[in-house]
Structure 1
C-alpha cells in the first residue's frame, strides 16, 4: 500500500506517530480503538477477486455537542453499503466490494484525530471521509495529510478548514480535500437577509473561541470587513469559551449598543443557552442570523416558539434542484427516504454526507488500483462532478483541493407536517434554488 513515503509501504504505529509529530499534528494518548463507539459496516461480497475490497473510513460525531451533524450519518452509511453491495465500484476493470468503517469521534477534536489514526493504521483504509464542522474535519484531515492518505471533508467553511490548518495558496495540501461554501458566501447571504429588515445596522457578534469562531471574526478574512462595506458595525465583546452557561457579558454588550442584528457561529447547545438567557434579560434583535447553531430541527424544537424566524445559511435542502450521481435520487427523494427510514425530519448534513460517497466512488473509478494513493488524491483534485449538493469543481478553487457549493438563506417557521420547517427566503447568489418565502423580522 502506498503512503506517500519513499518506501511505499504502510508505516507502523511508531513511524506514523513520528511522521505526525514532525508535521506538527497532535497525536493523543490512548488506544486507537478506545474512542470508537461504532463498528464497521458489514462487507457484502461482490464479483471480483477475494481481495478486491475498498475500505472507506468515515469519521462522524454521533455523540457529544456536535451530534446533530452526525444524526443522519448512520442512515447514509447503511444506504451506501446497500448500494455498493448491488453496484460494486469498478477499479482497474474489476468490481470491488466496499467496506465502510464508521467511527464516532464524540464531538472531540482529540478523539477525531485518534480514531483517524486508527483507521489508517489498524484498519488500512484507502480513503477517509469526514464531515461536521472544522472541529472534526480539521483534526481528521491533518492526520491524513501527515500519513499521505487521501481524505475528503465537507460541511466546514473552506477558510476554517484551509487557513485553520495552516494552509497557504502557494503551499496547498497534497492529500486532503474539501467541498463546501466559504465565509464570503455566508457574508453575502446574511447581508441580503439583513438588508430586507429595517435596523440600526448594529450587529452583535457571538463568536466562540474555536476554529470557526476565530475565522468568522477574523479582521482580514472574516465578517468585520465584509459587513463594514455594507454599512454595518460589528459589536464584538470577544470570543467566548465553548460550553459556557453564562452569556451575560455578551448580552450586556449587545443591549448597550442596541444591536438590532445578531450573528454568530455557536454550536447548538451554546446557542440554545444564549437565546434563553437573552430572552430572560430582555435582549431581542430584529433579525438573527446564526451559523452552525440552528441548522437542525431538533435544536429548534428544543428552543420552541422563540426560534420562529431565526435565520441561518442553507447549504442543502429537499428543494435544491440537484440529484445524486450514484443513486439518481433527487434532493427531495433523498430527504424522503431518510424520513421514511428513520421517522426524523431531514437536515442539511444529510445531503453533504451522501455527497461524500459520490466523490469517493468517482475517485476510485478513476484509478487502476485502490493502492494508488496518489492517483486517488489526484483524481479528487481534478474532479468535476454533479452531486446531490450541487456541481463540484475541484479545479476551480478558490484554492487547490477545494470545491465550492452553493449557499442560500432560510428562516425557521411553524411547519405543517413538522413542528418547524426551514424555509428558503434568500437566493440572490443562486437563483436556481427556489425561495419559498420572504424575510421576516423576529
Structure 2
C-alpha cells in the first residue's frame, strides 16, 4: 500500500467527523454563528501524528478524547492578527511503525499541505516525523521522549550549533531522570546496586550514554548486561547476572511487550523477590499494561511526565488536570492515563505558537514563534528561550508508583506521586513502598 493510500485509510473516520460538522476544506462551514470561507488562505491545517495501534498503542489510547476537546475549543476558529481562521487537525496513526511514521509525515506535507506538524510519543514516532519535516521545511513540534534521543539521536553534536531550523521538542531529558532517580532511589535503603536493562534503540542508547555515568558519580554501582534487541523473548542471561551481582534496584527503558516478558521471567527465576525497587520508564506508564501483569504489577516504580494532580491548566481548553482525568473516565469507562495531559500540552503549545506567529500561513513565521515560545501548558512550562541546547525545552518527570487501589475503587490500581524533585509544585501523595512490601 502506498504512503498516500495508507494516509487515506487513516483519515476516513476523521473525514466523516469533519463532514458531520467539525469542518472540512472546500466546504462553507457555519459553527455557532461563525462562517469561514473555504479558501486555503483561511484554513490552518495541523497534522497530528501518534501511535494509536501496535506495540506503542498505549501512548495513543487517549488521543481521540483529547483531540475532540481541542476541536471543540477550536470550533469557532482561531483569531490571529485580527483574522479568524478555520482549523483542521488531521490526525494519523503510525501503527507504531517508524517507516510508516515517515510516510505519513510526507503525505501530510505533500498531499495535505499542513502548516504545522505535532508529533508525540517515543523516538519510533517522533524522529522520523521530525526528519521529514526538517527536510521539507515544515515546522514540527513534539513531546514525550528524552530530548537527548531527539536532539543527538538525529545528528546534532554536543557543543556544535543546532542543525535544526524547523523542528522543536519539549519535555524531560536525562537530567530530569537523573534528578528524579537519585531522589526516588534514596527513599528506600538498598545496597545501591542497579541492574539496568536498556535496549539497542534511540532511547536505550541515549540513556546508557548519558544517565549511567551520572548515577555512577552519585555512588550507584551499575550492572549492565549490555544492549538487547527490541522483541527479545528470553532474558535468562540478564536475570542470572542480576541475581549473581545481588542487585536491589532495577531500571529499564523497554517497549511494553519486552518488559512484560522480562518481568514474568524475573518472577519465575527468583529475581523479583531480591529487588527492593523496580523503576520503569517507557513501559508501565499506563494502567492497562500494569493490570495485565496481575499481582506482579503491584509496587512497580514509575515516572510521570504528567499526572492529574499537576497544578496547571490547559491554555487551549481551559481544563485542569482533575477535570481532564475525570472527563476521560466518564467518557470511556477506562482509567485516566498520563498521556491525556501530555497530548493536551502539545496542542496547548502548538496553538499558542500559531497565535503568536504574525502569519500562520507562513512556515517561517510559525517556526520563529516556536523558537521564542515561553508559555505554560497543562503539563507545566514550555520555554524555548533558555533550553540546555537550541530547539529544546526541558520538562519535569516526577517519581510515581503503582499501588493496589483502596477497597471500593472502580479500578484495580492507583497511580501515586512519590517524588517531586523536578517540579516542587506537584504534590507528593504517598511514600514509596518497597517492591515486596
**Shift, 1:37, TM fit:** 4.7
* Contact 1:36–1:103 (Cα < 8 Å) also in 2: no
What is the correspondence of 1:281-360 to structure 2 with a 5 Å cutoff?
A: 281-284=269-272, 285-360=275-350
Q: TM-score, normalised by structure 1?
A: 0.90
**Shift, 1:277, TM fit:** 0.5
- Pick aligned residue for 2:258 from 242, 258, 270: 270
* Contact 2:297–2:402 (Cα < 8 Å) also in 1: yes
Identify the residue that residue 76 of structure 1 maps to in structure 2.
66
Partners of 1:78 and 1:326 lie apart in 2 by 12
Within the alignment, does 1:34 sit opposite 2:6 as a pair? yes
Partners of 1:37 and 1:207 lie apart in 2 by 35
Identify the residue that residue 366 of structure 2 maps to in structure 1.
376
SS class of match (2:326): helix
Partners of 1:54 and 1:428 lie apart in 2 by 39
Partners of 2:348 and 2:434 lie apart in 1 by 38
1:134-172 superposed Cα distances (whole Å, 9 cap, x missing partner)? 111111101000000000100011111111111235322
1:172-218 superposed Cα distances (whole Å, 9 cap, x missing partner)? 21101111111111111112111121222111111111100111111
- Pick aligned residue for 1:130 from 115, 119, 141: 119
Within the alignment, does 1:421 sit opposite 2:414 as a pair? yes
Identify the residue that residue 395 of structure 2 maps to in structure 1.
405
Unaligned runs of 5+ in 1: 1-28
SS class of match (1:47): strand
Partners of 1:157 and 1:287 lie apart in 2 by 22
What is the correspondence of 1:2-401 to structure 2 with a 5 Å cutoff?
A: 30-34=2-6, 37-39=9-11, 40=14, 42=18, 43-44=22-23, 45=29, 46-51=34-39, 52-86=42-76, 88-168=77-157, 169-172=159-162, 173-218=164-209, 222-284=210-272, 285-401=275-391
SS class of match (2:6): coil
Partners of 1:155 and 1:299 lie apart in 2 by 18
* Contact 2:314–2:348 (Cα < 8 Å) also in 1: yes
Partners of 2:122 and 2:3 lie apart in 1 by 25
Partners of 2:420 and 2:359 lie apart in 1 by 42
Partners of 1:382 and 1:112 lie apart in 2 by 27
Partners of 1:426 and 1:283 lie apart in 2 by 25
Alpha-carbon spacing, 1:272–1:120, altered in 2? closer, same or farther (3 Å): same
Partners of 1:74 and 1:38 lie apart in 2 by 13
Partners of 1:294 and 1:150 lie apart in 2 by 31
Unaligned runs of 5+ in 2: 24-28
**Shift, 1:50, TM fit:** 2.6
* Contact 2:49–2:101 (Cα < 8 Å) also in 1: yes
Partners of 1:33 and 1:216 lie apart in 2 by 37
**Shift, 1:104, TM fit:** 0.7
Structural RMSD (CA): 1.5
* Contact 2:170–2:392 (Cα < 8 Å) also in 1: yes
SS class of match (1:32): helix
Partners of 1:236 and 1:428 lie apart in 2 by 26
Alpha-carbon spacing, 1:145–1:435, altered in 2? closer, same or farther (3 Å): same
What number of residue pairs does the alignment pair up? 410
Partners of 1:153 and 1:430 lie apart in 2 by 21
* Contact 2:7–2:107 (Cα < 8 Å) also in 1: no
**Shift, 1:107, TM fit:** 0.4
Alpha-carbon spacing, 1:204–1:323, altered in 2? closer, same or farther (3 Å): same
**Shift, 1:73, TM fit:** 0.9
Within the alignment, does 1:439 sit opposite 2:428 as a pair? no
Partners of 1:149 and 1:185 lie apart in 2 by 29
SS class of match (1:375): helix
Partners of 1:154 and 1:289 lie apart in 2 by 21
SS class of match (2:75): helix
**Shift, 1:48, TM fit:** 4.0
* Contact 1:150–1:373 (Cα < 8 Å) also in 2: yes
Partners of 1:330 and 1:433 lie apart in 2 by 13
**Shift, 1:312, TM fit:** 1.2
SS class of match (1:164): coil
Partners of 1:207 and 1:37 lie apart in 2 by 35
